[in-house]
Amino acid sequence: MADKKSKEIKKNSKEVILRSAKVLFAMQGFELTTVREIAGKAGINVAMVYYYFNTKEELHQNIIDNAFKSFSQSLKEGVGQGKGSEDKIYDVIKVYITFLHHHKDIHRIILRETISQSKHIDMIVKKYISRNFDLVHSIIKEGVQKGTFREHDSTLSTFSLIGMILYYFTYEPIFIRLISPEKRKKPITEFLPDHIFNLFIEGVKG
Amino acid sequence: MADKKSKEIKKNSKEVILRSAKVLFAMQGFELTTVREIAGKAGINVAMVYYYFNTKEELHQNIIDNAFKSFSQSLKEGVGQGKGSEDKIYDVIKVYITFLHHHKDIHRIILRETISQSKHIDMIVKKYISRNFDLVHSIIKEGVQKGTFREHDSTLSTFSLIGMILYYFTYEPIFIRLISPEKRKKPITEFLPDHIFNLFIEGVKG
DNA sequence: GCATTAACTAAACGTTTGTTTAACTACTCT
DNA sequence: AGAGTAGTTAAACAAACGTTTAGTTAATGC
């Protein structure tokens, strides 16, 4: 019985490190987060971090990779295939907002990476972001072809749509200080999707 | 004659420090930029930084303050008073984009500050951001009152408008990797204002 | 039950950081 | 001309950082 229990209780140090690091990187950024801090939060020795990851940067990169894999899957699963263009757009908005709301830490890590113009940003764009962008772009292009949306620069509007969504999470610290207290109590997932959907659809409708 | 020349040539160290620090903070962020680096770029001794500013953080805060003062002035000057609501919105978009295009470093510094949830962010919002937000908000509210814009949540749309603008600068490193090369050559100030204006106005039109 | 590997630890390493000190010019005012 | 102040410098400070080392404990396979 000791065998089984120890297997259950046994803490998977690598995963504990990843979880702790994710929170700390999101809160404080890469540079301001020390390896000792990560180890402390994970309840393990500093050297363990270097046992599983070669460098602090490799750990960071690992977290970003996991995040994008997770999101790309959500996006593919969340957008209905047989639907019309407007419904697909609504799905996209819903998936983005729902995911970001539950993974704020991930968004902040990637945002920091973007601003920092890190060496990895090229790889990240090619491997992940451009795929997600193309998926949304193709929905809008399809809508234009079918006449659901008017003729316009679909590349720019794709960027604007994603921009309208991400912006709320990017500037959330400022947003919660600007909107009224009663609305502040409602989770962002309740009022934001419809607002962005209406604004965007009216702007591109045929 | 030596007098006059020395007066002309005499480098104003404080301003050189501010200029050098602004560029470096924007490029690398607060933590990754060292005081020695700033001094090196400014061509002065490290101790000079501490002669003019008590700490590295005070220097940083000084740069942010100057930036917001400069932008708030541009916004007040750039928005025509006697115009209709749509024209005023266009002015707002134009001022934001023009300013951000010429002061990308400032935007990145403030963006970092926002993400970092720094202790100063409360002060910054109260002192600067909320004022600018209210200015844009009042234009939209006026438009709704006059019937130029439809009835809707004007707080949210104000945020969305500013969001659509800022997003292009926040995610510019990704944007330039996604859009077509021929469009990439044009400065953002040429195609972006009209695009955002059309998208937004169609979305809120009465 | 013993050897081999994996998981883990305390302590130390060299480097870099923000900041301070104390001394030195150069200019201004009297 | 000489005191006083503003501007500037090289050198040093302690603290904190990412990373490594050498050694210990726990689990596994034969």
Give me chain B's average pLDDT, please: 89
Residue A7 pLDDT: 33
Residue B8 pLDDT: 34
Residue B4 pLDDT: 32
Window 21-60 of B: residues touching A by CB (8 A cutoff) are 27-29, 31-32
Closest approach of B7 to chain A, Cα-based (Å): 39
Query: Are A111 and B170 within 8 A, CB to CB?
Result: yes
pLDDT one-digit tens code per residue, B78-136: 999 999 999 999 999 999 999 999 999 999 999 999 888 888 888 888 899 999 999 99
Residue A177 pLDDT: 84
Looking at chain B, which residue has its C-alpha nearest residue A130?
A: B178
Rounded to an integer, what distance in angstroms lies between the CA atom of residue B194 and that of residue A204? 14
Closest approach of A87 to chain B, Cα-based (Å): 17
> Phi and psi at residue A118, in whole multiples of 5°?
-65, 165
For every residue of A141-197, DSSP letters joined together read HHHHHHTSB-SS-HHHHHHHHHHHHHHHHHTHHHHHHHS-HHHHHS-HHHHHHHHHH
> Phi and psi at residue B149, in whole multiples of 5°?
-110, 155
**End-to-end distance of chain B based on CA atoms, in angstroms?**
68
Task: Pinpoint the alpha helices (H) of chain B.
Answer: 2-9, 13-28, 35-42, 46-52, 56-78, 85-102, 104-115, 121-124, 130-146, 154-170, 172-178, 181-185, 188-204
Provide the CA B148 distance to its chain's centre, in angstroms.
Answer: 29
- B126-154 mean pLDDT: 94
Tell me which residue in B164, B183, B192 faces A164 most closely, judged by beta carbons: B164
Q: Is the pLDDT of residue B71 over 90?
A: yes
- Output the distance from B17 CA to D6 C1' rounded to whole Å: 17
- pLDDT (tens place) for every residue of chain A, 206 residues total: 233 333 333 468 999 999 999 999 999 999 999 999 999 999 999 999 999 999 999 999 999 999 999 999 999 999 999 999 999 999 999 999 999 999 999 999 999 998 888 888 888 888 999 999 999 999 999 999 999 999 999 999 999 899 889 999 999 888 888 877 777 788 889 989 999 999 999 888 87
3-state secondary structure of A34: coil
| Per-residue pLDDT band at B11 (split at 50, 70, 90) | low
Closest C-alpha to B68, from B17, B126, B139, B155: B126
Chain B within 8 Å of A163 (Cβ-Cβ)?
A: yes
Residue A1 pLDDT: 29
Rounded to an integer, what distance in angstroms lies between the CA atom of residue B113 and that of residue B104? 14
Residue A203 pLDDT: 87
Closest approach of B1 to chain A, Cα-based (Å): 48
**End-to-end distance of chain A based on CA atoms, in angstroms?**
68
| Per-residue pLDDT band at B2 (split at 50, 70, 90) | very low
The least confident of A9-18, A193-202, B7-16, B34-43 is: B7-16
Rounded to an integer, what distance in angstroms lies between the CA atom of residue A19 and that of residue A15? 6
Residue A175 pLDDT: 86
- B164-176 mean pLDDT: 89
Looking at chain B, which residue has its C-alpha nearest residue A28?
A: B116
Share of chain B above pLDDT 90, in %: 70
Residue A173 pLDDT: 84
Tell me which residue in A31, A129, A183 faces B174 most closely, judged by beta carbons: A129
Residues of B in contact with A169 (CB under 8 A): none
3-state secondary structure of B151: coil
Query: Are B159 and A168 within 8 A, CB to CB?
Result: yes
Chain B within 8 Å of A176 (Cβ-Cβ)?
A: no
A51 CB contact with strand C at below 7 Å: yes
Q: Is the pLDDT of residue B3 over 60?
A: no
Residue A11 pLDDT: 63
